[in-house]
Amino acid sequence: MRTLTATLATMLLALPLLAQTEIQTTIDPTKATNVLRIAIPAPEVTGATFDSVNGPLFKPLTRDISMSGIFAIAPLPPNVAITPEVLQRINAQLLLKLAVRTEGEDFVVEARMTDTTGQTQFGKRYRGPAAALTRLAHMLASDLVRSLNGKPGPFLSQIGFASDRDGHWEIWLMDWDGGNQRAITHHGALSILPSWSPDNERMVYTSFARGTSDMYIINRRGGGRIRVATGLQLNTSATFSPVSNDIAFVGSINGNPDIYVIKDDGSGRRRLTTSGTIESTPEWSPNGRQISFTSGRSGSPQIYVMDAEGANVRRISFDGDWNDDATFSPDGEQIAYTSRVSGRFQIRVSNLTNGETRILAGEGSNEQPTWSPDGKWIAFQSNRSGKWQIYRMRVDGSDIEQLTFNGENKDPDWSKKSE
């Protein structure tokens, strides 16, 4: 009898669970100290089929929650009424119930999270057309994280990148999980290296649309494109200041690439480096007081940090014979950069306080790291598949996931704000 019970229990756990078969919990609850186990039964849907909300709403929601680092999803046995006993058996501390109904063209989603005592910990109603269901899912997941953490999850953030899938390199955007990929530029010419404004509304990038490399700014929805006339050549690696309307970039006069700053209306240009060697790839610290950059002044490309006026230059990277693409973590305490190790580029993370570095190793060449706004993830480009594609991993190098698949894709830049 005891054997039979054990077998039944095993069977129940092993059975594919309704609407949760796609979910892979990425957090190991035994390793995390503050992860809450949450049960999420399939939503009650009225006015539409479950299938019509499963793909656009339920799957991205449960995926976000499972990757939040705050929650671990407790699998529910199928076709069983949710009772406190069931929740106790699966060791769920929280229950998230979703009710979806249609009102005209809109979907209305009610979310209620209760604890084991039945007390509501979170309750919110969302409304939107079918096309907005995925965004609604990311919003709800972000709100759930904030309800427990005080800070939103990264689920509404966007990743800008360059893709050649339509024949030319153009600037594209995607959701944090690789969904909703769409082009925002249509130059029909090499357009690369997008970088977000701090308010998530604009991107600055480089395009060769006029046959020279020029700096452009465009709204996130593809409108309002302007060219910023810098009076210089190159105009690459442009990046918005997090605290002002300054843009740091690489400008060149007579083949001498240096770090410059210019306002987003093209005024107030000033030069920050004066060395005769190559300087490139500026990036602001989160408080806007420092700029990291790459310089060949030591004989090979290495990472340096200076203050935003160009003084107090100090070298950051000492490992690797070619380092580039430095970018500060959102808390300003670490720098991630591309570092060549044994002939291959890898993502290296360096602690600015104690100088310790660690390699987030991977197959192929791995370049151009960019931090998620919550500092828990790094997106990067890798040629491990034989083509350049964009991947995302946790800052400890785990849970690597490929986000792009069409054509070749590179130059990821994660939006600075979570929402």
Partner 1 sequence: MKKTSKAFAWTLCVVVLGLFAMACPKKPKPVVTPQVVADTAPPVVPEPPKPPVETKVENKDFVQETPIQRETLPADIEELNRYAQSHGYIQDAYFGYDESGLSADAQAALTSSANWLKGDGKGYNLLVEGHCDERGTEQYNLALGDKRANTAKEYLATLGVDGSRIRTVSYGEERPFDPGHDDAAWARNRRAHLVLVGK
Choices 39-47, 194-202, 209-217, 349-357 (CB under 8 A): range interacting with partner 1: 209-217
The DSSP-derived string for 293-355 is EEE-TTSS-EEEEEETTS-S-EE---SSS-EEEEEE-TTSSEEEEEEEETTEEEEEEEETTT-
Residue type, 49: T
Cα–Cα dist 333/351, whole Å: 6
With binding defined as CB under 8 A, does residue 236 bind partner 1?
yes
With binding defined as CB under 8 A, does residue 167 bind partner 1?
no
Residues numbered 242 to 281 that lie near partner 1 (CB under 8 A) are 250, 252, 254-257, 278-281
With binding defined as CB under 8 A, does residue 370 bind partner 1?
no
Binding test (CB under 8 A) with partner 1, winner from 213, 290, 334, 357: 213
Minimum CB–partner distance for residue 180 and partner 1 (Å): 25
Angstrom CA distances, 93 to 60, 126, 134, 168, stand at 22, 24, 26, 50
Minimum CB–partner distance for residue 161 and partner 1 (Å): 12
Minimum CB–partner distance for residue 321 and partner 1 (Å): 9
Residues in the chain: 419
Binding test (CB under 8 A) with partner 1, winner from 58, 126, 169, 328: 169
Binding test (CB under 8 A) with partner 1, winner from 294, 327, 370, 409: 294
With binding defined as CB under 8 A, does residue 234 bind partner 1?
yes
Minimum CB–partner distance for residue 380 and partner 1 (Å): 12
3-state secondary structure 356-398: CEEEECCCCCEEEEEECCCCCEEEEEECCCCCCEEEEEECCCC
The answer to whether the beta carbons of residues 3 and 10 sit under 8 Å apart is no
With binding defined as CB under 8 A, does residue 195 bind partner 1?
no
19: which residues sit within 8 A by CB, 6+ positions away?
41, 42, 50, 54, 58
> CB atoms < 10 A from the CB of 240, how many?
23
Residue 271's region, left for phi above 0, alpha for psi from -120 to 50, else beta, is: beta
Closer residue to partner 1 in complex, CB, 61/326: 326
Main-chain dihedrals φ then ψ at residue 144, nearest 5 degrees: -60, -45
Q: What is the DSSP letter of 21?
A: T
Sign of the CA dihedral running 409, 331, 328, 190: positive
Choices 21-29, 65-73, 138-146, 321-329 (CB under 8 A): range interacting with partner 1: 321-329
**Strands of 270-271's sheet in order across:** 233-240, 246-253, 256-263, 270-271
Closer residue to partner 1 in complex, CB, 134/366: 366
Minimum CB–partner distance for residue 194 and partner 1 (Å): 13
Which of these, 325, 317, 327, lies nearest to 297 by C-alpha position?
317
Minimum CB–partner distance for residue 304 and partner 1 (Å): 13
Minimum CB–partner distance for residue 81 and partner 1 (Å): 56
Binding test (CB under 8 A) with partner 1, winner from 24, 300, 351, 406: 300
- Judged by CB under 8 A, the number of residues near partner 1 is 35
Binding test (CB under 8 A) with partner 1, winner from 183, 190, 243, 359: 190
Chain contacts with partner 1 (rule: CB under 8 A): 169, 190, 192-193, 208, 211-213, 233-234, 236-237, 250, 252, 254-257, 278-281, 294, 296, 300-301, 322, 324-325, 338, 345, 367-368, 410-411
